[in-house]
Amino acid sequence: MQGRRLKTGVLISGSGTNLQALIDACTTPDYPAEITLVISNRADAGGLDRARQANIPATVISHKDYTSREAFDAAIDTALRAAGVEFVCLAGFMRLLTPGFVNRWHDRLINIHPSLLPAFKGIDAVEQALAAGVQTTGCTVHFVRPEMDTGPTLLQVEVPVKAGDTSETLHDRIRRAEHQCYREALRLIAAGKVAVSEETATISDN
């Protein structure tokens, strides 16, 4: 008999490739999470179609419809709670969340970032890595805190930077690593194998 699954909401702004990785993971019978709601701040986000094709409820909450970040985040919070969401994944969600929202979902909110944090924070992480001339970059799944791209690190995967890489080729390589990393991060959390204490995330072997 399948056990209880963690009800997960996913926030997106774009094509939703990480969302698709999570959708695919959730189709596995023994995967301990399920996606119960997808929210996009953009009506043209390709990830909305991915959700609908998987028969997952999807809605648009446009930041342009609200006079403040607080009001926008409150609308997202209301929608998540109405859907019974217990945990939230940011998957290419291109809005900074307010401290109030982040604190309401403290230790129940994760993000994936295309670098080995704390290196190369921000939206141009891949370009930063190329400009710095590093030989290795990667991706990080971390718990979200009010300050951008901070919070306890859960998983990281290293990705080599190859000679002749462009931002497109490197980002494609990182994205493939992200898909595996995010699936595994949510699985560990939903299986009760992750604990956060004193701003450090630990993974249990039990």
- Locus of tokens 């690593």: 177
28-51 per-position pLDDT tens digit: 999 999 999 999 999 999 999 999
C-alpha 97/C-alpha 111 separation (Å) is 12
Active-site pick, 63, 106, 113, 179: 113
Beta pairing partners, 39:
11, 59
pTM: 0.95
At the second CATH level, the architecture of 6-201 is: 3-Layer(aba) Sandwich (3.40)
73 token code pair: 């985040």
Residue 113 a catalytic site member: yes
**What 3-state DSSP class applies to 88?**
strand
Instruction: For 67-115, write each residue's pLDDT tens digit.
Output: 999 999 999 999 999 999 999 999 999 999 999 999 999 999 999 999 9
